[in-house]
Structure 1
Amino acid sequence: MVHLHKLAIEDTDELISINGRIYNSSTNQLTTRDNKQVQLKPIQAALLKLFIKHRGKLLSRDEIIQEVWKNKIVEDATVNSTLSRLRNVLGCKGDVIKTHHKIGYCLIGSVEPLEHNIFSERITETALSLDPDSPVTEPPTSKSPSKLFNLSVLTLVSSLILLIIYFLQASILDNTTRPPSNPTLTPLTHTQGIEFFPSLSADKNWLAYTHKADQHSPFELLIQNAKTYETTVIQDAPHMSSPFWAADNQTLYYQTFDNNRCEIKKITPAQIPAQSTISTVTVCGGQLSISPIAISSDNTWLYFSYKASKSMPFIVKRKNLITLEEQQLTFPSQKSYGDYSISLSRDNNKLAFIRSIADSLKELYVLDIEQNITSRIAQYRHVIYTTSWSPNDNEIVFVDSNDNLAAIDVRTRETRVLFSSEHHIQTPISVDTSTLLASVGEFKTNNVQAWSLTQPDEPPTPLIQSSFNDRGAVMFKDTDTTKIAFISNRSGNNQLWLYDGQAYEQLTHFAAGHTLNNLQFSHDGQLISFLDNNQLAILSLAAKEINHFGKLGDNFRNPIWMCGSSRYLLTTRLVNNSWMLHKIDAKLTAVETLLPEVDSVKGDCMTGHYYISKVHEDGIFKLANDFSKVMSGPLLPHTHFLDADEWHLEDGAVFFISQEQLLHTKLSNPGEAKALSSHLQGIKQFSKLGDTILLNHTSVSGSYIAHIQL
């Protein structure tokens, strides 16, 4: 039989067992206890190797910074985030990397190198014992030549079997293609703000990209000379985005939005704005869109996403630039956000696009244009801003849930990692077989602010601030307690946090890949409902336990606790391609179906009435007391209420967001909606309790366009 002997760990060891997890130090891949492969980012791998090298030893924060970051100036938040992300990848809390408060960190538990013949354990002991301690059964007499020959052959065969099994097992462990060993990332732009959606002319002399200076600035279009770095701003409309160079290297197509009208325009020659001509090509709807556009290489067809109104989904259309004929190419469900992030293959035969089913459910599709056949390639639970065909037209490049630059083969559905970096990469565009352009850096950060109805002339004040994304805050208050629950990635991944005015407490410890939203306190403040990858979940603050409702893959939306209840919830759920209103008994986990075609629901707990917003209609509608039917409506018929964090009901008044302003009006006279304050601008979502309104305050961080050489 085969025994694994404990060895001293050397820098040359490739396979290392860490409390049941297998780490391949040559490829930086980790196999978890449930046989999932995870590609570590370089900074995570460097940190893990340091812990392995000094396993059992307490490492101070200064020692970690010195060895991992090579004495660069690093903020504590960066070290904390890297440690948290590594712990999440390892799938551990404290059983691998232990924190010694204010002292340092230590790798604990079983850490052992694996000999390559660990993979031979499946071989039965029919021929030869490899155990050096096993007893010798043959008498100590000289063996005959035939026996020696047979033993030699048997030893050779056994060795070959061991070698074959090792390589087979190694290939199973390493089923994701390794990323390139030394990719390089070179910044190309240096403008303050965020820069994204790059487009390079066919002759590679001109770079166009979208730019946003700060949170309140519009999107604008910049063109940069790739050789001299001289940059020109195209000034045509308040919002400009999604540039795309035509094959002639002179004509640049782009999107604009002005006066509630989305248009696709072209400018020629784009390099000399003072001498150029701008013309409108087509209309892309009545909503702001930053979805990419595409032009066929023969300059015949323009492909784009179209959204008629807020209540309608994005659809993909194309326009013949010669005959001016327009065609609708995709037909998403009216209940989805729709189709966007399009990319046309270089042979002009295939169109890739993303279909958003819900906040954390995206599907990648490929349309065979000639045969008019649409195929679903994959499902994802993270935001994908762009897709880009590789030059061979067989792979689609995108950013995966671990922020790796990846490519999925549309024939085999297999994904390989192209580039793993500690930098945040978005909107990648393939240039050739080994070159990409992408936006590098965080687009934005979110913090929580508070604003009081009793001081309407005062601006919002910071409530929860960090260098991370803190958002989605809700408040609970009684005579003794005030606490705020919110979502933050301050520990590495998105988690639920609690703030009592003095201290912060992390409530959840999810691994990567969880999209969290729609937090709500129960009436007694002991439970928090939320959506975890669109699945309804309830967290008990006392027991620190989470219960999920429905099955994995279910899609819920906008859950609320019923007035005065810590047991019953109302929520919408996607059933047979229709959003249905349901009543949930959290104690018995029972589900009751109430009404179809409902987007969101709210209760006015002072009047005892409930109101809904509908999938296909603007305005809100009053429900019967038994939830069996709509009694009246629509109220505010010119406003679309999609998400529950965009409106609130209280004492016969409705508070809601319209054009990023927070308005309010009485339901008895809804035609006189007024802004709450001139200080409340750029509002995306809010929550309200009494006189306090909690807001997400978004700040533009900073990103740049980079050249990535694989």
Structure 2
Amino acid sequence: MTLPLRFIIDGYLIDMSRSEVTGKAGSIKVEPKVLQVLLLLAQNAQQVVSHQQIMEQVWQGSEVVPNALQRCIARLRKVLDDDAKSPRIIATHPKIGYRLMVDVQWQQEQPKQRAVINNPRELKGRWKWLALVVLIMTLGLFFAVFTTSLELKIKSIKTITHTDSFESEVSYSPNGQYIVFNRQTQSCYSHIWAKNLKTGIESRLSEQAGFYRDTRFTFDGRSIIFTQQKNCDQKAREFEPQSANCWQINSLDFAASLSSPQPAAVRYQCQNQSISRPIALPNHQYAFLQTEHGNSGLIHYNALNQQSDILFAPSALSIYSYDYSPVQSQYAVIGFNPDSEHVLSILNEQGRVLQQHIVTLQKTILPLAQFEIRYSNEGDALLAVNDGTLYHLNLNGELSEYKPLLQNIISVDKHPKNAQVIAITGYKDTDIANVPIYTEHNTPIQSGINQSVQPYKSFARTKSAEKSAKFQPFSDLIAFISERSGNDEVWLWDGAQATQLSDFANNSRIEQLTWSPDGKQIAVVSNGLLKLIDLDGNTQSFNAPVLLEKVAGWHQNSSLLVTATAANARALWALDLKTLQFTPLPIEGVINTWSTSHTLYFSHLNGKVFRVSLPIDSQAPEHMSALNGKSLVLSQNKFYSYDPTSRYLSMYNLEGELIKQIRPLKPFAWKLSDVKGQHMLLEQVIEVNQDIIELELSYDH
């Protein structure tokens, strides 16, 4: 049997006939000998292939330059984005050979059909037999189709953009000729762009830069609608604004904007509540998600009379994504129920529930990872993205994944006429810096997004995401979360080297960590479970009444605060470490907490900070308007907070009153993680990379 000339490894398509490798960054021509080495390793996947065997089969006794094989392996690693020090694709066995560490998916070529000329007399004598054969084959095909499940495949990948900017929110025009997307180069410097997929010509549509999201065509293709987040200083250079005073819906005339950039028309005036995913309905109607204090609802807005109505906001669901099908005239809404299960609701145009199902999750899906959904052209199914993977979601909640599995898919939109899907793909590389609080650094930093920068010197530098660094109380360790081993794990930094402390199950996801007040334990939530880890790596797990999101703080010695998504809000729970009892607290929408012996401070998603006295009763929380909850640390009864308006690190007292401005922080390093003595830990963005790709899907049985 001859092996096919096309195969897939780790998301890369290798085409031997074209000497070409296609990945998320596009297609690359590779020398034939180099690919012959890869083919031989693929034929013996998971097995060591000796140096001698490779030389004999690839070079077949011909003279070669010194280190020819080593150069081929180095070239393959570069093309496949593999690291020789910590390989994930090609392993080196010193003085022996090499081994392909991943599985191979072979793509069989379609056999060419031979043209056969039959004698008419013979054909006439066999027509009955031919008819019978056709009937049998038809019945066989019928039963094969309807008794076997679809195998969903990503057939090809095509790079659409690969720029130094940050692309997001892409969608097709109704005729499939154009795509429209948001392109961001700085924090408050977004523009709406269109690209003609046939000619490749790009056109900037928006006249005024701003902070834009949710770019999408109207269903008739005449206009583009998008959200604009206000309170966005054009001179700001951070990755994203820290706060906003209102959100609005804008639109652009598509034909006019193609000729020259146009000013946006406001369709929905600025509101204090966060809004997202606006969809233009017929007759100047709009739908969008609105979030306030952690509660989300699907809203219907009539632009003619400027009236808003709640379309769907059940108290037992925490809605996070939705879409609308003009073909079926219905909505698909997905959210969490009180048991943290994903519930898919299908609604008519008036918001009445037509059907409702719990999504059947596969074992590889993280329980609290959210789905981004888009209707298919016919409105009978959904495309869903979860944790970087593309899925087919039936309206009855059945889920199937597309293979080969691609990583880092963020959002998708279905082509209106064929099997193409336009997608945003990318990653974010963050690091941690240990910086003196009062020392000024004047090194200039470029302000673009899709670039590698290092505002301050990082410790334990990798190309993976590092976050949530915390100083150990009463000692010198720093704990942080890193995905350098393939999953989110807890790591320790002793000032010289990093050591992995935890060893959780595959696909673990951790939002943040907290030290115990005595510095002997670390608390995290991994895949919905609260875990305590001692400094020897011993782990104790606690089952809560609900699936948990993250640890929110350690209150004194005896109580841990955690958050959970349930009942249409981010609920706050307390674990009494003496009785091991979980108790819900009467506060909703909590993202982070800070506490003293008598007061609990907490933040919402928009960064607003509030406080209540302990124990919590029916008192109304007090807003601490000067504090930014997205970059805030409480240390020695002082708040250290980054002010997005002045761009300064400032110190405040427990009343939220400014004590002094300390120093400006560099762009991409504004997020304060911890403070201890004269030092602070900063999360900094090293590289952000999001681009547009087009996938061709196939459905095989």
Superposed pair shares fold, TM > 0.5: yes
- Is the alpha carbon distance of 1:254 and 1:454 closer, same or farther for their aligned partners in structure 2, counting shifts above 3 Å? closer
Q: Of the candidates 158, 161, 166, which is equivalent to residue 194 of structure 1?
A: 166
Q: Is 2:586 the partner of 1:613?
A: no
Q: Of the candidates 304, 309, 313, which is equivalent to residue 331 of structure 1?
A: 313
- Is the alpha carbon distance of 1:530 and 1:371 closer, same or farther for their aligned partners in structure 2, counting shifts above 3 Å? closer
Q: Is 2:200 the partner of 1:245?
A: no
Q: Deviation per CA, 1:532-557, whole angstroms, max 9, x where unpaired?
A: 13431111222x22222124853254
Counterpart CA distance in 1 for 2:489 and 2:40 is: 25
Q: Is 2:520 the partner of 1:539?
A: no
- Is the alpha carbon distance of 1:618 and 1:517 closer, same or farther for their aligned partners in structure 2, counting shifts above 3 Å? closer
Q: Which has the higher contact order (CA 8 A, sep 6+)?
A: 2
Q: Which residue of 1 aligns with 2:118?
A: none
1:232-631 equivalences in 2 (<5 Å): 232-233=203-204, 234-259=206-231, 260-268=245-253, 269-272=255-258, 274=260, 278-283=264-269, 285-286=271-272, 291-296=276-281, 298=282, 301-307=285-291, 311-320=293-302, 325-331=307-313, 339-355=319-335, 364-370=344-350, 372-373=352-353, 375-378=356-359, 381=367, 383-384=369-370, 386-401=372-387, 403-411=388-396, 413-422=397-406, 424-432=408-416, 434-456=418-440, 460-476=456-472, 478=474, 482-542=476-536, 544-551=537-544, 553-555=546-548, 557-563=550-556, 565=557, 568-571=559-562, 579-585=571-577, 590-591=580-581, 593=583, 595-597=585-587, 599=590, 600-604=592-596, 608-613=597-602, 619-621=609-611, 623-624=613-614, 627=615
- Residue 190 of structure 1 deviates from its aligned partner by 3.5
Counterpart CA distance in 2 for 1:388 and 1:46 is: 41
Counterpart CA distance in 2 for 1:450 and 1:528 is: 20
- Residue 219 of structure 1 deviates from its aligned partner by 2.9
Counterpart CA distance in 1 for 2:169 and 2:566 is: 36
Between the aligned residues of both structures, percent identity stands at: 17
- Is the alpha carbon distance of 1:656 and 1:558 closer, same or farther for their aligned partners in structure 2, counting shifts above 3 Å? farther
Q: Which residue of 2 aligns with 1:634?
A: 622
Q: In structure 1, give the amino acid aligned to 2:297.
A: I
Q: Deviation per CA, 1:149-194, whole angstroms, max 9, x where unpaired?
A: xxxxxxxxxxxxxxxxxxxxx99xx9974233x6111122243222
Retained in 1: the 8 A contact 2:611–2:624? no
Q: Which residue of 1 aligns with 2:235?
A: none
Q: In structure 1, give the amino acid aligned to 2:426.
A: E
Counterpart CA distance in 2 for 1:603 and 1:397 is: 43
Q: Which residue of 2 aligns with 1:127?
A: none
Counterpart CA distance in 2 for 1:371 and 1:706 is: 34
Counterpart CA distance in 1 for 2:341 and 2:74 is: 36
- Is the alpha carbon distance of 1:589 and 1:530 closer, same or farther for their aligned partners in structure 2, counting shifts above 3 Å? farther
Retained in 1: the 8 A contact 2:473–2:517? no
Q: Deviation per CA, 1:258-293, whole angstroms, max 9, x where unpaired?
A: 23332212222344353856421113633676x433
TM-score (normalizing by structure 2): 0.69
SS of the residue aligned with 1:228? coil
- Residue 387 of structure 1 deviates from its aligned partner by 1.4
Counterpart CA distance in 2 for 1:668 and 1:370 is: 48
- Is the alpha carbon distance of 1:71 and 1:647 closer, same or farther for their aligned partners in structure 2, counting shifts above 3 Å? closer
- Residue 383 of structure 1 deviates from its aligned partner by 4.7
Retained in 2: the 8 A contact 1:212–1:219? yes
Counterpart CA distance in 2 for 1:551 and 1:46 is: 51
Q: Deviation per CA, 1:237-259, whole angstroms, max 9, x where unpaired?
A: 41123222234433222222223
Counterpart CA distance in 1 for 2:696 and 2:268 is: 36
Q: Which residue of 2 aligns with 1:149?
A: none
Q: Of the candidates 199, 207, 210, which is equivalent to residue 228 of structure 1?
A: 199
- Is the alpha carbon distance of 1:78 and 1:430 closer, same or farther for their aligned partners in structure 2, counting shifts above 3 Å? farther
- Residue 326 of structure 1 deviates from its aligned partner by 3.2
1:154-173 equivalences in 2 (<5 Å): none
Retained in 1: the 8 A contact 2:345–2:356? yes
Counterpart CA distance in 1 for 2:350 and 2:84 is: 49
Q: In structure 1, give the amino acid aligned to 2:551.
A: N
- Is the alpha carbon distance of 1:45 and 1:270 closer, same or farther for their aligned partners in structure 2, counting shifts above 3 Å? farther
Retained in 1: the 8 A contact 2:514–2:524? yes
- Residue 303 of structure 1 deviates from its aligned partner by 1.9
Counterpart CA distance in 2 for 1:324 and 1:629 is: 38
Retained in 2: the 8 A contact 1:250–1:270? no
Gaps of 5+ in 1: 1-9, 13-24, 29-40, 85-96, 112-169
- Is the alpha carbon distance of 1:303 and 1:443 closer, same or farther for their aligned partners in structure 2, counting shifts above 3 Å? farther
SS of the residue aligned with 1:597? strand
- Is the alpha carbon distance of 1:615 and 1:451 closer, same or farther for their aligned partners in structure 2, counting shifts above 3 Å? closer
SS of the residue aligned with 2:277? coil
Q: In structure 1, give the amino acid aligned to 2:459.
A: L
Q: Of the candidates 176, 184, 191, which is equivalent to residue 156 of structure 2?
A: 184
Retained in 2: the 8 A contact 1:663–1:673? no
Counterpart CA distance in 2 for 1:460 and 1:227 is: 44
Counterpart CA distance in 2 for 1:475 and 1:495 is: 17
Counterpart CA distance in 1 for 2:78 and 2:100 is: 23
- Deviating more after overlay: 232-241 vs 589-598: 589-598
- Is the alpha carbon distance of 1:326 and 1:486 closer, same or farther for their aligned partners in structure 2, counting shifts above 3 Å? same
Counterpart CA distance in 2 for 1:190 and 1:524 is: 49
- Residue 66 of structure 1 deviates from its aligned partner by 6.0
Q: In structure 2, give the amino acid aligned to 1:283.
A: Q
SS of the residue aligned with 2:203? strand
- Is the alpha carbon distance of 1:322 and 1:609 closer, same or farther for their aligned partners in structure 2, counting shifts above 3 Å? closer
TM-score (normalizing by structure 1): 0.68
- Residue 669 of structure 1 deviates from its aligned partner by 5.4
- Is the alpha carbon distance of 1:593 and 1:551 closer, same or farther for their aligned partners in structure 2, counting shifts above 3 Å? closer
Retained in 2: the 8 A contact 1:406–1:419? no
Q: CA RMSD in A?
A: 4.7
- Residue 485 of structure 1 deviates from its aligned partner by 1.8
- Is the alpha carbon distance of 1:211 and 1:383 closer, same or farther for their aligned partners in structure 2, counting shifts above 3 Å? farther
Retained in 1: the 8 A contact 2:171–2:422? no
Q: In structure 1, give the amino acid aligned to 2:688.
A: S
SS of the residue aligned with 1:702? strand
SS of the residue aligned with 2:402? strand
- Is the alpha carbon distance of 1:700 and 1:316 closer, same or farther for their aligned partners in structure 2, counting shifts above 3 Å? farther
Counterpart CA distance in 2 for 1:396 and 1:372 is: 19
Q: In structure 2, give the amino acid aligned to 1:342.
A: Y
Retained in 1: the 8 A contact 2:368–2:528? no
SS of the residue aligned with 1:405? strand
- Is the alpha carbon distance of 1:190 and 1:614 closer, same or farther for their aligned partners in structure 2, counting shifts above 3 Å? closer
- Residue 601 of structure 1 deviates from its aligned partner by 3.7
SS of the residue aligned with 2:189? coil
SS of the residue aligned with 1:701? strand
SS of the residue aligned with 1:392? coil
Retained in 1: the 8 A contact 2:523–2:551? no
SS of the residue aligned with 1:272? helix
Q: In structure 2, give the amino acid aligned to 1:505.
A: T
The number of residue pairs the alignment matches comes to: 577
- Is the alpha carbon distance of 1:235 and 1:593 closer, same or farther for their aligned partners in structure 2, counting shifts above 3 Å? same
Counterpart CA distance in 2 for 1:375 and 1:78 is: 49
